[in-house]
Structure 1
């Protein structure tokens, strides 16, 4: 189907055409009609499925149709980065509508705060906010939500994980009871379902399958000890002149350590919560413009950061949660592009890695560790059925798991090792089904419009 089926206002259709939107994604097909009908909605959809447009487009159409020029919609997001990104997409879609939005978030300096307050005083139909900053505004009487018609919670599971549950309920207490509430979440654990019952009224439910990575991403892995990881990263980066790489580490201390080890040889920056907001946005801007080629960070950049053209994602540590793997890998192969994802698996990570393979429904290719890096961990069958234990490679055999079978490989001589070709990530073949992604490209005049007159430097 096409977007014409939704009977959007002509000015909104013009914006969609200008931004290159032709065919709705599955989440858009299902969510847009429900939102246009005024129904409460709880939807499960991961980043990269087009979920942002799924809730922005019907809301913009409603505002354009009603001709309202007062505060109409509140969108809550877990991070500053996601709030900024949502606001930018609103500005792109609403370029021909004359509808304005304001991003409200903390972490900036006094100038940023004054810009946000001034923008609020001048008025806007849509506010995109992080819970903490909005609570401060409400407590200080700086914002009036009495005219609100729509509440949207994006990445609700992430907000719950960050401890915003009480803040969200407090914010809801300021809102009119007669409103439409829409909740999007990448996962749907029991705590989200229980929370939804407190704020949604007989909602429709939409579930877009989680766990499938994009068709264009080539997925592979290395079995490696922790003290070999940094050298392996260098080996991978030296195989190709990558223009855009994200390396995910499990903690900010590991991020800092890896950054320190790589910064002499590569154009790289570290992205973590210890940075001031101004520094974080400066780094992200440089990465988007490709003046910075490599970004190393924690899961703070695994969700809500929509950057098309990421060529390579390296999981320096195997994610604890299989769904986090999907979000990390989802940074590449967006908008029908191609990409690579390489995961490092140490001797303690096998069970986590097995869970990832089960979630995505495929076996991830295991690559041979380059000879100069040393021996790799091997995973041998234990006496407890399918469970596996880790041990050091002894040279007697190197067993690699394929499905439920174990295939033994004869040890190579030194000559054989030097003659063998080391596989790279591009050799791995993905069999994952396709996942449509949201097109965020648009004409330059729309990109210029995103630098709004009231907040064109409000990125703190």
Structure 2
């Protein structure tokens, strides 16, 4: 199903297209119409099935389309960790970029400036607030959070929140919300305690059960565990070992795309880049050159992970680990199309080990780890369960801005 078939607001459609989305995943195809119809939903969907867009897109569309209280929070998305809050907020920012819908992430571990920004947003009113339970409850207990106009409540990764002991915090937050609202609950598993929670907060919910899609069995999946400084030399090494018909390299940021393209252009390789900084006409020109064979290496952001229709891509390199399992499947699915075989190689840096471990768990298989060639020096060991991400100050959160067009967190 195409995203154009949902009849979203044209400004939201522009954000969807800019984010590189064309075809809806199964969870999006089932959940979005239910949310647009105003129904409560309980969905069994793991991280990596596309569930974030499944609730963000209809929420954004409804906020654009219906009258709202501009001095209140309209939608509250509760998640278990600050990492997930930041990730969803970034997703929200991209999808809502061409709309006036405002958003902010609220989570613990920030400094005084972050608290001031959060207080300003929560007391002035924001369209969508993505938060962790403890930090949100702390703000609510201080008495300035405007919730009188709230219309939507989303509990994401509900099973994980209960495992982490957030049940009481969640129920206290819910007690502060208007009784009349639309509720969406997402959980990877549906144990008894989740069913009990659903009975308490959902009203005649529709139930959706989704499992993650699997990659084509013909794809040879490999991975290198590396330090960040080893990535560019290793790309050059891999490209020099064998001649591929065409190679697609995915990076998670425009900065990485530009840097890698610049380095590869210093060799004899025919390479170019695609990312959102380029005009549409330039993107189309580069893609046409890639399809025709004038270029055989394309470095891109996830703008190309969905919908690119080229059958002869022999190698996909994930220069950075994708955000989740669904993105991983979409990226590597660009190879081994039609009757062809293909190879997908992923670089796993130290800070990405936990994320890749989650992807392997969702896929139900271990991806073969290839030793880094000795000439590149010692490489890190792969131990995703032992790695704990550093909680640094650079969280990726952007300042809250509240103005007449309610434009918050805009790039």
Same fold (TM over 0.5): yes
**1:121 paired residue number:** 123
Q: Alpha-carbon deviations, 1:413-439, whole Å to 9, x = none?
A: xxxxxxxxxxxxxxxxxxxxxxxxxxx
Q: Any idea what SS the aligned residue of 1:8 has?
A: coil
Larger radius of gyration: 1
Does structure 1 conserve the Cα–Cα contact (< 8 Å) formed by 2:40 and 2:202? yes
Pair 1:18-2:18 in alignment: yes
Does structure 2 conserve the Cα–Cα contact (< 8 Å) formed by 1:219 and 1:340? yes
* CA apart distance, 1:219: 5.0
TM-score, with length taken from structure 2: 0.58
Q: Any idea what SS the aligned residue of 1:138 has?
A: helix
Mapped to 2, the partners of 1:365 and 1:94 lie a distance apart of 35
**2:295 paired residue number:** none
* CA apart distance, 1:337: 6.1
Mapped to 2, the partners of 1:142 and 1:216 lie a distance apart of 56
**1:186 paired residue number:** 188
Q: Any idea what SS the aligned residue of 2:104 has?
A: strand
* CA apart distance, 1:71: 2.0
**2:48 paired residue number:** 48
Q: For the structure 1 residues 189 and 288, does the alpha-carbon distance in structure 2 shift closer, same or farther, using more than 3 Å as the test?
A: farther
* CA apart distance, 1:74: 0.4
* CA apart distance, 1:105: 1.0
TM-score, with length taken from structure 1: 0.53
**2:29 paired residue number:** 29
**1:200 paired residue number:** 202
Pair 1:159-2:161 in alignment: yes
Mapped to 2, the partners of 1:450 and 1:214 lie a distance apart of 38
**1:130 paired residue number:** 132
Mapped to 1, the partners of 2:9 and 2:367 lie a distance apart of 48
* CA apart distance, 1:32: 0.3
Mapped to 2, the partners of 1:47 and 1:122 lie a distance apart of 32
**1:64 paired residue number:** 64
Report the number of matched residues: 291
Q: Alpha-carbon deviations, 1:288-342, whole Å to 9, x = none?
A: 955999xxxxxxxxxxxxx9674587xxxxxxxxxxxxx9877845544674579
Structure 2: 5+ residue runs without aligned partners? 236-251, 261-300, 303-316, 336-343, 349-359, 375-395
Does structure 1 conserve the Cα–Cα contact (< 8 Å) formed by 2:73 and 2:128? yes
Mapped to 1, the partners of 2:370 and 2:113 lie a distance apart of 53
* CA apart distance, 1:103: 1.2
Q: Alpha-carbon deviations, 1:218-258, whole Å to 9, x = none?
A: 5579xxxxxxxxxx9689x9899457xxxxxxxxxxxxxxx
* 1:254-333 correspondence runs (5 A): 290=256, 310-311=318-319, 332=328
* CA apart distance, 1:76: 0.6
Mapped to 2, the partners of 1:217 and 1:166 lie a distance apart of 45
Q: Alpha-carbon deviations, 1:132-175, whole Å to 9, x = none?
A: 10110111112022211110011112211211111111111111
Mapped to 2, the partners of 1:368 and 1:449 lie a distance apart of 35
Q: Any idea what SS the aligned residue of 1:20 has?
A: coil
Q: Alpha-carbon deviations, 1:3-48, whole Å to 9, x = none?
A: 2222212222222233332221111110000101111101122222
RMSD, aligned CA: 4.3
**2:306 paired residue number:** none
Mapped to 1, the partners of 2:254 and 2:88 lie a distance apart of 16
Structure 1: 5+ residue runs without aligned partners? 222-231, 244-285, 294-306, 314-326, 344-355, 373-447
**2:377 paired residue number:** none
Q: Alpha-carbon deviations, 1:47-95, whole Å to 9, x = none?
A: 2222111101111111111132342110011111211222222222222
Pair 1:209-2:211 in alignment: yes
Does structure 1 conserve the Cα–Cα contact (< 8 Å) formed by 2:3 and 2:22? yes
Q: Alpha-carbon deviations, 1:164-219, whole Å to 9, x = none?
A: 11111111111112111101122223322222222112211111125846879755
Q: Alpha-carbon deviations, 1:106-157, whole Å to 9, x = none?
A: 1111121112112333321111111010110111112022211110011112
Pair 1:6-2:6 in alignment: yes
Does structure 2 conserve the Cα–Cα contact (< 8 Å) formed by 1:148 and 1:176? yes
Mapped to 2, the partners of 1:13 and 1:369 lie a distance apart of 43
Mapped to 2, the partners of 1:214 and 1:163 lie a distance apart of 38
Mapped to 2, the partners of 1:192 and 1:203 lie a distance apart of 13
Q: Any idea what SS the aligned residue of 1:127 has?
A: strand
Mapped to 1, the partners of 2:27 and 2:151 lie a distance apart of 22
Q: For the structure 1 residues 211 and 99, does the alpha-carbon distance in structure 2 shift closer, same or farther, using more than 3 Å as the test?
A: closer
Residue of structure 2 aligned with 1:74, choices 72, 76, 83: 76
Does structure 1 conserve the Cα–Cα contact (< 8 Å) formed by 2:75 and 2:153? yes
Q: For the structure 1 residues 9 and 192, does the alpha-carbon distance in structure 2 shift closer, same or farther, using more than 3 Å as the test?
A: same
